[in-house]
Amino acid sequence: MSSDPITSASLVRMKKKGERIVCLTCYDAAFCRVLEAAGVDVLLVGDSLGMVLQGQATTVPVNLEHMVYHTRCVSNVRERALLIADMPFLSYATPQRAFSAAERLMGEGGAAMVKLEGGAAVVETVRALTRFGAPVCAHLGLLPQSVHQLGGYRYQGKDDASSAAIRADALSLQDAGASMLVLECVPQQLASDLSVELEIPVIGIGAGNRCNGQVLVLHDLLGLTPGRRPRFSHNFMDGSSSIAEAIVAYVTAVRSGKFPGPEHTLF
Q: What is the pLDDT of residues 105-137, one digit of tens each?
A: 999 999 999 999 999 999 999 999 999 999 999
Domain boundaries along the sequence of the chain: 8-264
Predicted pLDDT of residue 231: 84
Residue 1 has pLDDT above 70, yes or no: no
Task: Determine contact, residues 165/156, Cβ cutoff 8 Å.
Answer: no
Task: Determine contact, residues 88/64, Cβ cutoff 8 Å.
Answer: yes
The CATH code of domain 8-264 reads 3.20.20.60
Predicted pLDDT of residue 169: 98
Q: What is the pLDDT of residues 74-105, one digit of tens each?
A: 999 999 999 999 999 999 999 999 999 999 99
Task: Determine contact, residues 211/192, Cβ cutoff 8 Å.
Answer: yes
DSSP state of 108: I
Would you place residue 2 in the very low, low, confident or very high pLDDT band (cuts 50, 70, 90)? low
Residue 25 has pLDDT above 80, yes or no: yes
> Considering only 3-12, 13-22, 64-73, which range has the smallest mean pLDDT?
3-12
Residue 144 has pLDDT above 80, yes or no: yes
Nearest to 213 by CA among 242, 181, 241: 181
Average confidence score pLDDT of the chain: 95
Cα(17)–Cα(217) distance, rounded to whole angstroms?
26
Would you place residue 3 in the very low, low, confident or very high pLDDT band (cuts 50, 70, 90)? confident
Predicted pLDDT of residue 227: 77
Nearest to 184 by CA among 210, 160, 212, 215: 215
DSSP state of 82: E
Q: What angle do CA 21, 186, 14 make, to 5 degrees?
A: 15
Predicted pLDDT of residue 267: 73
Predicted pLDDT of residue 154: 81
Question: Could you give phi then psi for residue 254, rounded to 5 degrees?
Answer: -70, -45
> Considering only 106-110, 147-151, 174-178, 242-246, which range has the smallest mean pLDDT?
147-151
Residue 168 has pLDDT above 70, yes or no: yes
Would you place residue 239 in the very low, low, confident or very high pLDDT band (cuts 50, 70, 90)? very high
List residues with catalytic annotation: 184
